[in-house]
Amino acid sequence: MSRGHTITIEQGEQHVRVVHGGQVLAETDRPLVLRETGCPVRYYIPADDVRVDLLTPSDTHTECPFKGTASYWSLPGAPDLVWAYPDPKPDVAAIRDHFCFYETDVS
């Protein structure tokens, strides 16, 4: 990590639910909680708890100098709603096989 930039990943016990258009896309009690300097807290949800059958892979990819290359998935009318790091950098290897959504309900 560069000076002043930190990322921490913890095993969470929050109940995280992702609903879009009345449809549950993901629900878990075992999210990874990722905190990154300058960014909102993000919940990474295990692939087993995500309705990947509802998601369509996107052509979008973004590069994070700290996490690696992100791939995106879309829903009809909701492009690039979810992302994941299929091959994350070693410092954040825990997020492999986890998905992250822009909008989550946490309880």
0.85 cut: is pTM over it?
A: yes
Query: So what's the pLDDT on residue 73?
Result: 97
Average pLDDT of every residue of the chain: 94
pLDDT exceeds cutoff 70 at 49: yes
Query: Where along the chain do its domains lie?
Result: 7-106
Residue 1: both structure tokens together: 């990590």
- For 28-43, what is the mean pLDDT? 96
**CATH architecture for segment(s) 7-106:** Beta Complex (2.170)
Instruction: Quote the CA–CA distance of 47 and 17 in Å, as a whole number.
Output: 13
Q: How confident is the model at residue 107 (pLDDT cuts 50, 70, 90)?
A: confident
Query: So what's the pLDDT on residue 2?
Result: 58
